[in-house]
Chain A
Amino acid sequence: MLNFELPKLEIGEAIEWFVRWVIANLSVIFDGIKTVLNAITGVLSSGMEAVPPVILILIFGLLIWLITSKTTAILSMVGLALVWNIGLWPQLLSTLVLVVVAVIIALIIGIPTGIAMTRSAKLEGAMRPVLDFMQTMPPFVYLIPAVMLFGIGVVPGLFATIIFAIPPPVRLTYLGITQVPEDMKEMAVAFGANDRQVLRKVELPLSLPSIMAGVNQCIMLGISMVVIASMIGAGGLGAEVMRAVNRLDLALGFESGLAIVILAIVLDRVSRNIGSGKETPADRIIKYIKKRRMKEESSHPA
């Protein structure tokens, strides 16, 4: 009685059919995307590789100092110099480009999606399972459609990284905005603000710490995915790790792993500091310029 056979639901086949259909019919779009992303990453990588590492490390140090602090800047420069010393500098740069481009695209998609979810309960209800799916699906699985859509190379790596890194900015943007106290929003409305003004002048500024936590998480997930993406030819430090695994080369494995850790820590400290409300050297410089200008104005009344 109980051992009758249920026909298997062909879910996997359906997805595969869908992706094949997309490739067959929409390849123009994906080719276009591929060309654009290849160009962007190519220009960025070759541009940075053209600069002598010492100068680039100094430039990075200066930028990091501006948005964080002296200590963070010095430690970051030491870390980056170490990577250069062990000979993984070009790989670090290509990984950095991959992460930065992927994160920017993920944020461009993710933050507005999070905002849209706060405006529509229906969208929020629909997005929640989608986000759960994206976060729990083993990241390796994304590699398959990525390769099918874009072939082997940097772009499918970007694609997989973006999908993997999108959920945190979406969720944390949504969370941040919904946690803005109701009376703040009510106040803005009571002073005649429309929905866009409420968003721009109250909700986004007050949810900035949460949104920045989302950005930080996005970067961290991006870095971890970049290693996996090297399996489909994304290159960079991930490729070195893969090579070390294949050859059981502990020395190379450790070194390239260490380079990834250094990159991750630097990016984490930098992104964590943005929007934390701490006064940075850049803030101090802006303040100083403003003060100077005010003094000039008061001494030369118009």
Chain B
Amino acid sequence: MTAKIEAKNLVKIYGNNTGHALELFNKGCSRSEIQKETGLTLGVAGANFEVAEGEIFVLIGLSGSGKSTLLRCINALLMPTSGSLLVDGRAIEKMPEKELRKLRGEKISMVFQHFAVLPNRTIADNVAFGLEIRGVPKEQRLKKAEEVLVTVGLEEWKNRLPAELSGGMKQRVGLARALVMDADILLMDEPFGALDALIRAEMQEELLTLQREIKKTVVFVTHDLDEALRLGDKIAIMRDGAIEQIGTSDEILAEPANEYVEKFLTGIDVSKILDASSISKWPNVLIRETESVSVGLYRMKRADTDYLFVLGPRYRLVGIVNKDDLVALSKKRETNLKDAIRKASSVPGDTIMRDIFPVLRESEKALAVVDENERFLGIITHNTLIDTLDERKGGDGIAEL
């Protein structure tokens, strides 16, 4: 499948006469070196990414990391200095102005951090703004606006002025204004950044619910890691204009690409985000149900453990065997280990870490992690949890539990 949005070596340098600055960048100069030498700001430093259709792609970074700049390159509010940005396979930097306006008016919609709701227009007129620019007749556009206002729960407010609305409601207007365009792509520039935490969580939930229905391609800018992890199908972490890592939340949390990403991730409560499958480890030793008692004892000895998970065909979890039971069987000269298999405690792979603790407390040994078909994914021991928290929070996490 081709990507809906694709950036290739995209560079954005602010200002005029960017030639020299671009040369410096290509020579490998850093952002501050370019700034010192030419006085120009490097906004985006060679970004490469692909966004698949129907995906929520999150750009995250500290302020000044270039995430909003990169977002504005997608609908050409800012023109890339070099490199290419493709929307549906077409390079926006090569489009004439007229086509760009068409692209913005039909294919890409945008939601803004400070809402950008026009104070002199009623809510319905604000929502219909894009349609008005597109040239849709008044009655038709107001009708459409009303329909979308129902979706965001503001139909009662359609004839009011924005001054009467709260921040969260204003952003709903901003969202409705983008949705009414029925564009494939939704660009969201820190849309919930100006809202308080409770409203923000509510809006995130609404966005996810809505996304399940409308399946837009969303590029979402935020500086809030929890928000990124919650919403993003894919997350790109940016720093000084460059993308440090792109991946799913699990990938990024499990394997930070470098020290910066790792540092960026500290300070979040991993127990809320990590799930069983991402923290589980493949054990050193396992046993198949068809294998013998002596093989089991040998493996336990080799791995210095007193239990083994027993797997059936296609990695299906069958149970667990203890060292004592196997020893008893071998004394009876029994080779088949079936009699020693006990029920193993297991959790589904998408259980979040916080919910694993109570289960783990009850089981003496390790927890098996299984997928929806009861297939074995790995194990979680008491040590796994402690190690995970220790790695990410320098030990603070345990006290918090």
Contacts and interface: CB of A to CB of B under 8 A. Distances in A.
B72 to A, nearest CB: 8
Interface string A185-199: 011111111100100
B116 A187 contact: yes
Contact of B112 (A183, A194, A197, A206): A183
Interface in A146-188: 181, 183-184, 186-188
B129 A189 contact: no
A206 B105 CA distance: 22
Given A205-B118, A206-B120, A187 B133 contact: no
Nearest to A197: B133
Contacts of B134: 192
B116 A193 contact: no
A187 B112 contact: yes
B101 A184 contact: no
A191 B112 CA distance: 12
A187 B113 CA distance: 11
Contact of B110 (A181, A184, A187, A208): A187
Contacts of A201: 129, 132-133
A202 interface: yes
Q: For A186, A192, A205, A206, which residue has the most chain B Cβ atoms within 10 angstroms?
A: A192
A277 B120 CA distance: 9
Interface string B71-113: 0000101000000000000000000000001111110111011
B109 A191 contact: yes
13 contacts: A181-B114, A186-B77, A187-B110, A187-B112, A190-B75, A190-B187, A191-B109, A191-B110, A192-B133, A192-B134, A201-B133, A206-B118, A206-B119
Contacts of B181: 191
Interface of B: 75, 77, 101-106, 108-110, 112-114, 116, 118-121, 129-130, 132-134, 177, 181, 187
Contacts of B119: 206
B193 to A, nearest CB: 13
Contacts of A192: 101-106, 130, 133-134
Contact of A186 (B106, B116, B133): B116
A184 B116 contact: yes
Contacts, number: 60
Contacts of B112: 183, 186-187
Contacts of B116: 181, 183-184, 186-187
Q: For A181, A187, A277, which residue has the most chain B Cβ atoms within 10 angstroms?
A: A187
Contacts of B103: 192
Nearest to A189: B77
A190 B129 contact: no
Given A183-B114, A188-B133, A193-B101, 9 more contacts: A187-B116, A189-B104, A190-B104, A190-B187, A191-B104, A191-B129, A191-B133, A192-B103, A192-B130
B267 to A, nearest CB: 29
A186 B113 CA distance: 12
Interface of A: 181, 183-184, 186-194, 197, 201-202, 205-206, 208, 277
A201 B129 CA distance: 9
B109 A205 contact: no
Contact of A190 (B102, B110, B113): B110
B179 to A, nearest CB: 12
Contact of B101 (A181, A194, A277): A194
A206 B114 CA distance: 16
A38 to B, nearest CB: 40
B130 A191 contact: yes
B102 A202 contact: no
B118 A202 contact: yes
Contacts of A190: 75, 77, 104, 108-110, 187
Contacts of A188: 129, 133
Contacts of B110: 187, 190-191
B275 to A, nearest CB: 37
A188 B105 CA distance: 10
Q: For A181, A189, A194, A206, which residue has the most chain B Cβ atoms within 10 angstroms?
A: A189
B190 to A, nearest CB: 12
5 interchain residue pairs of minimum CB distance: A192-B105, A187-B116, A191-B130, A190-B110, A192-B104
A186 B189 CA distance: 12
Contacts of A189: 77, 104
Contacts of A277: 120
A194 B108 CA distance: 16
A195 to B, nearest CB: 10
A5 to B, nearest CB: 48
A186 B115 CA distance: 11
B399 to A, nearest CB: 43
A181 B112 CA distance: 13
Contacts of B109: 190-191
A188 B133 CA distance: 8
B143 to A, nearest CB: 14
A201 B133 CA distance: 9
B12 to A, nearest CB: 16
Nearest to B114: A183
